[in-house]
Copies of this chain bind each other. A is one copy, B any other.
């Protein structure tokens, strides 16, 4: 992959760092809205070329892939333009706010013989694969709880009614789109499509969900996905089965730093209650490298089967977000 990036947020810094460490992936150009910002950003990351005219970057034949990390509301249009220009696309999460738009992008990619990927870390992490492999150790899964609560540096501004993109409905901001998307990928990547989703949210003065809880109902289990930008937590995942529990912790389910198996526990009052844990996880590389490897492999090997699996996963999460978002008040 020879990548051109759109955006200059912290997520782009991290993606460029990850791509630099990924075999056969190179960032060759960056785009930002003004000449000065684009040049500064290119220099900051020691990137060869900078663009402040997006169409020009899309016409650059030395670039084969565009990384779209603009505000959420621009994902669709910019991804579309990139595909129409014959580029592969890596589009930051949340992919699109509606399934219709997601399908349009996937169709457009097919028509142009190109690939489009959702840049979601969770499902590509080695420790997530380890969770998958050890799921059977928990017996029959009954309850899943997934919490990603990360206090936003823009929340204090928001409380003073200064609305930045991440708290602006017009930019598809909010806890569901920005952060609960990781939990939804985590849960559905393991258990597939739920029978239903129900979203309960704390909504701010402009209607944005500053935090919320999604319940996913499966025929034989329940999952809750908690996402918050207005408070914080140690961000753990618990998968409770009738033979034991898997705990994922450390950072968030976007990183899956640690994975543990906790043996089944009954009533421990009056007994020696030692926390017994079996470490399952490995020491991972910086977490964004793995998705880059997966995307590069699919392109290089023209792996349509794996690509199709990722498309279905993205469409599932997009459809859940669309349904959940429609349940917000007002």
A residues neighboring B (CB under 8 Å): 10, 14, 138, 142-143, 145, 147, 149-153, 155, 159, 200-202, 210-213, 215, 217, 220-222, 224, 226, 228, 230-234, 238, 240-242, 244-245, 247, 250-251, 255, 262, 264-270, 273, 275, 287
Contact = CB atoms under 8 A, between A and B. Distances in A.
A151 B266 contact: yes
Contacts of A226: 143, 145, 224
A243 to B, nearest CB: 9
A231 B232 CA distance: 26
Contact of A245 (B153, B217, B231, B267): B231
Specify how many copies of this chain sit in the oligomer: 2
B242 A202 contact: no
A213 B224 contact: yes
Closest 10 CB pairs of A and B: A231-B240, A232-B265, A142-B231, A151-B264, A151-B266, A142-B230, A142-B211, A233-B238, A232-B264, A230-B242
A202 B222 contact: yes
Contacts of A14: 269-270
A32 B89 CA distance: 73
Given A230-B242, A233-B245, A143 B202 contact: yes
B220 A231 contact: no
A284 to B, nearest CB: 12
A224 B143 CA distance: 13
Nearest to A217: B200
A294 to B, nearest CB: 19
A240 B232 contact: yes
Given A142-B210, A142-B211, A145-B226, A152 B232 contact: no
21 contacts: A14-B270, A143-B202, A143-B211, A143-B213, A145-B226, A147-B238, A151-B242, A155-B242, A200-B217, A212-B222, A213-B222, A228-B240, A230-B242, A231-B240, A233-B238, A233-B240, A233-B265, A234-B275, A251-B268, A255-B269, A269-B287
Nearest to A153: B266
Contact of A232 (B220, B221, B222, B262): B262
A267 B210 contact: no
A143 B264 contact: no
B245 A241 contact: no
B228 A142 contact: yes
A143 to B, nearest CB: 6
